[in-house]
Structure 1
Amino acid sequence: MANIKKWESEEVGCTIGIDYDLCNGDAECVEVCPTEVYEVVDGKSTAPNIDECIECCACVEACPTDAIEHSSC
């Protein structure tokens, strides 16, 4: 069973899920996100600033392990 942590934004209307079994914490999502949605905490990506998301999907495309699921992508 996947270990997926989810963040939801009612303001933006999107959900981001990160599969912690796949996430290696290399911060590609942090680097490519133009609105700083992501942070790495304890070696895993997190999306504490999801309300800033512009739904560009750069994070999904950049993740080398396909750990990010985005409701808009």
Structure 2
Amino acid sequence: MANIKKWTSASLGITIEIDHDKCTGEGECVRVCPTSVYKIVNGKSVVENIDNCIQCCACVVACPTQAIKHSSCG
């Protein structure tokens, strides 16, 4: 079974999932996110500030392993 971590923002109506089996912790999501939603913890990306998300989808595009799934980014 995949090691998928899920974060939800009720106020924004979005969900972000990160597959920690795929995540290599390179931090591309951290670098490209304009609102500091992500953070690397113990070598894996985590969603620290989901309520800051502006739904630009840069994280999904930047992830080299396609580990990020964002409900707004089809």
5+ residue gaps in structure 1? none
Q: Once the 2 structures are TM-superposed, how far is the Cα of residue 24 of structure 1 from its aligned partner?
A: 0.2
5+ residue gaps in structure 2? none
Runs of 4+ in structure 1 displaced over 4 angstroms?
none
Preserved CA contact (<8 Å) 1:37 1:53:
yes
Aligned pairs for 1:34-49 within 5 A: 34-49=34-49
User: Please, what TM-score do these two structures have when normalized by structure 2?
Assistant: 0.97
Give the distance between the partners of 2:41 and 2:26, measured in 1 at CA.
11
Give the distance between the partners of 2:12 and 2:24, measured in 1 at CA.
27
Aligned pairs for 1:50-65 within 5 A: 50-65=50-65
The equivalent of 2:69 in structure 1 is 69
Q: Once the 2 structures are TM-superposed, how far is the Cα of residue 12 of structure 1 from its aligned partner?
A: 1.1
Aligned-residue Cα RMSD (Å) equals 0.4
Preserved CA contact (<8 Å) 1:30 1:38:
yes
Q: Once the 2 structures are TM-superposed, how far is the Cα of residue 11 of structure 1 from its aligned partner?
A: 1.2
Matched, 1:12 2:9: no
